[in-house]
């Protein structure tokens, strides 16, 4: 039986890696991958806690998140693709149209 602390710690580590990837990397594809990591980190914690508390809700919620992640990835990559066609680059530094 894996202790709950380990599961949470592992989830947090995955989450942190994802967060760092999103914040630090400038490549849009890498950022999207990091986003997946973020979600999966949360999923691990959700599933772990569900099992720890002996409730199916954690797993159910994790499933929803996976579905969301899939659709998010699909839309996200489509956007990235469109962006690439437009700018010939994945670099987010050129993506500052929202600058005030």
Residue corresponding to tokens 């994790």: 62
Which CA distances in Å does 51 have to 55, 57, 63?
Answer: 6, 9, 14
The contact pattern for another protein, residues 2-21, with x = CB under 8 A and - = no contact, is: -----------------x--
Tell me if 93 contacts another protein by CB under 8 A. yes
Among 2, 6, 24, 67, binds another protein (CB under 8 A): 24
Tell me if 27 contacts another protein by CB under 8 A. no
Distance of alpha carbon 49 from alpha carbon 53, whole angstroms? 6
Tell me if 54 contacts another protein by CB under 8 A. no
Which CA distances in Å does 9 have to 58, 92, 93?
Answer: 17, 31, 33
Binding residues for another protein, rule: CB under 8 A, are 19, 22-24, 26, 31, 92-93, 95-100
């Amino acid at each position: 039986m894996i202790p709950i602390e380990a599961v949470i710690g592992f989830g947090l580590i995955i989450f942190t890696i994802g967060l760092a990837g999103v914040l630090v990397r400038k490549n849009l594809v890498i950022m999207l991958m990091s986003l997946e990591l973020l979600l999966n980190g949360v999923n691990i914690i959700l599933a772990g806690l569900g099992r720890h508390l002996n409730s199916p809700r954690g797993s159910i919620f994790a499933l929803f998140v996976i579905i969301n992640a899939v659709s998010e990835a699909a839309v996200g990559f489509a956007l990235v693709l469109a962006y690439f066609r437009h700018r010939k680059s994945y670099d987010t530094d050129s993506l500052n149209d929202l600058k005030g």
